[in-house]
Amino acid sequence: MNYESIFIISPEVPAEKIEELTTKAVKIIEDSKGTFKMSQQFGKKRFAYPINKLREGSYVYTEFSGNGETVNALESFFKFNDLIVRFLTVKIEKKKVVAKKTAKSEPQAAKTTNDKGEIK
């Protein structure tokens, strides 16, 4: 299964430590029989509302494939690390293409406008 995970790191953490946390997350994915695909840092972003008395955080996005064990190991790392404020892991499913049936065109009622140009 394919997954994507985003986690928010406390804003006072330096860039070197953010890189270290990302590397640890990748190692956990690979150690638990998962395959790391990509990671991207979005930098510091302001929250819509305070979280743990913080107003902003550093966002990191990762994509990986694995099984439930991989997700559990990664989320355990997130839960027990005090520097990580929030996280979310979501399963990515392939989208199915559905062909739409075309109905026979039915005549539409004529639309009229008033003197202000509004459609009635």
Question: Which domains are seen in the chain, by residue range?
Answer: 15-92 (3.30.70.60)
- Per-residue pLDDT tens over the stretch 41-92: 998 999 999 998 999 999 999 999 999 899 999 999 999 999 999 999 999 9
Which stretches within 1-120 are classed as H helix? 15-31, 68-79
- Per-residue pLDDT tens over the stretch 8-31: 999 999 999 999 999 999 999 999
Q: What pLDDT, on the 0 to 100 scale, is given for residue 4? A: 94
The structure's pTM equals: 0.74
Please state, in angstroms and rounded to a whole number, the distance separating the CA atoms of residues 7 and 36: 15
88 Cα distance to chain centroid: 7
